[in-house]
Amino acid sequence: MTLSSAPGKVYLFGEHAVVYGEPAVPCAIERRARVGVQRRDDGKLRVHSKDLSLNGFTVEYDGSTSNGPDIDVSESLISAAMGYVDHAIEQVRDATDEDEVGFDVTIESDIPLGAGLGSSAAVVVAAIDAATRELGVTLETDELAERAYRTEYQVQDGQASRADTFCSATGGAVRVEGEDCRSLDAPDLPIVIGFDGGAGDTGKLVAGVRDLRNEYDFAADTVEAIGDVVRNGEDALANGDIDELGRLMDFNHGLLSALGVSSRSLDTMVWAARDAGARGAKLTGAGGGGCIVALDPTPETETALSFTPGCEDAFRAELSEKGVARLE
């Protein structure tokens, strides 16, 4: 058995707009997916997970998601998760020239599925890393990030940026603009996360922004305005100016709302955080439901969120300097 882990992330700035070539700044956080992999010579893929979702599932899987597992979570989430694992294994076969190889894959994750914290990127990065190593090949971080990106690109029908996968592979705060991916110096950020217990469908949300952008010039301008916010945010991050970072996060949330990717519960949590004195708050990731990220060095925001109706979990998150970790 070969075991790797990779971190989830929050977006300080720039989700959605990054799909259209604007810059984005995600930050890896200390919430991880751990993937254990063992070679099988019968070519099958068997995936086992106790905590990828709220309920455990195990599925004998031979390359199609049509024989869905009997489990109590949304079928689209499971089918998405299986799609990511399936395409990740395709990348492994390609990288190792072992076209017929199968695997037993065990996934443990403390990142909620589809909630904006980069669960799929973390699973994909850890799965590709563990499975290639299981076959005796250790990928450089750049190649790992690239192969994880290609996996997301395929699953998301060609609508994916390199931001989630690069951040998960390398750790820390990163800046992604098209193919240009680099690490950034970041101060200790007082990150607080609120989770509404729900999830958004990344593919649908990305497609919704694409349609708006095609229909209205002002939606295209909104996407570009997010890019301007990100560029200002990079300066604030370099200066360690938490107040300015917060103001810009508020602005970014407003622009994402205008693009239709917020939700009532995300807005409620954003306002609860602001009312509690957070320096700023915004949704993180694709939106539609899931998580918000706020900056607050005091305990107030976490406490307020934990009493906010519709907020299922509120917690602090440390920046994870480490990306992929090779455990066994």
The answer to whether the CB of 6 falls within 8 A of the CB of 72 is no
Among 86, 129, 164, 177, binds ligand MEV (CB under 6 A): 164
Cα 318 to Cα 5, 54, 185, 220, 265, distances in angstroms: 16, 23, 15, 34, 24
Backbone angles phi, psi at 24, to 5 degrees: -140, 155
By CB under 6 A, tell whether 288 contacts ligand MEV. no
By CB under 6 A, tell whether 22 contacts ligand MEV. no
Q: How far is the CB of 61 from ligand MEV (least distance, A)?
A: 24
Total residues at interface with ligand MEV (CB under 6 A): 12
Three-state SS at 232? helix
By CB under 6 A, tell whether 80 contacts ligand MEV. no
Give dist(CA 216, CA 56) in Å, integer.
Answer: 43
Among 45, 174, 286, 311, binds ligand MEV (CB under 6 A): 286
Q: State the binding string over 204-233 for ligand MEV (x if CB under 6 A, else -).
A: --x---------------------------
Q: How far is the CB of 21 from ligand MEV (least distance, A)?
A: 11
In the chain, DSSP assigns E strands to 2-13, 25-40, 45-49, 57-61, 102-109, 173-177, 180-184, 191-195, 280-283, 291-295, 313-317, 325-326
Q: How far is the CB of 85 from ligand MEV (least distance, A)?
A: 17
Segment near ligand MEV (CB under 6 A); pick from 10-18, 40-48, 239-247, 264-272: 10-18
Three-state SS at 9? strand
By CB under 6 A, tell whether 283 contacts ligand MEV. no
Q: How far is the CB of 159 from ligand MEV (least distance, A)?
A: 7
Q: Nearer to ligand MEV by C-beta: 71 or 286?
A: 286
Give dist(CA 186, CA 244) in Å, integer.
Answer: 14
Q: Nearer to ligand MEV by C-beta: 60 or 157?
A: 157
Q: State the binding string over 144-163 for ligand MEV (x if CB under 6 A, else -).
A: ----------------xx-x
- Kindly list the catalytic residues: 164
The answer to whether the CB of 39 falls within 8 A of the CB of 134 is yes
- Give me the numbers of helices (H) and strands (E) for the chain, helices first please: 9, 12
Segment near ligand MEV (CB under 6 A); pick from 15-23, 131-139, 212-220, 251-259: 15-23
Among 202, 252, 263, 268, binds ligand MEV (CB under 6 A): 202
Segment near ligand MEV (CB under 6 A); pick from 12-20, 38-46, 180-188, 224-232: 12-20
Nearest CA-CA partner of 152 in 67, 214, 225, 90? 90
Q: Are strands 57-61 and 45-49 parallel, antiparallel or unpaired?
A: antiparallel
Residues that bind ligand MEV (CB under 6 A): 15-16, 18-19, 160-161, 163-164, 202, 206, 285-286
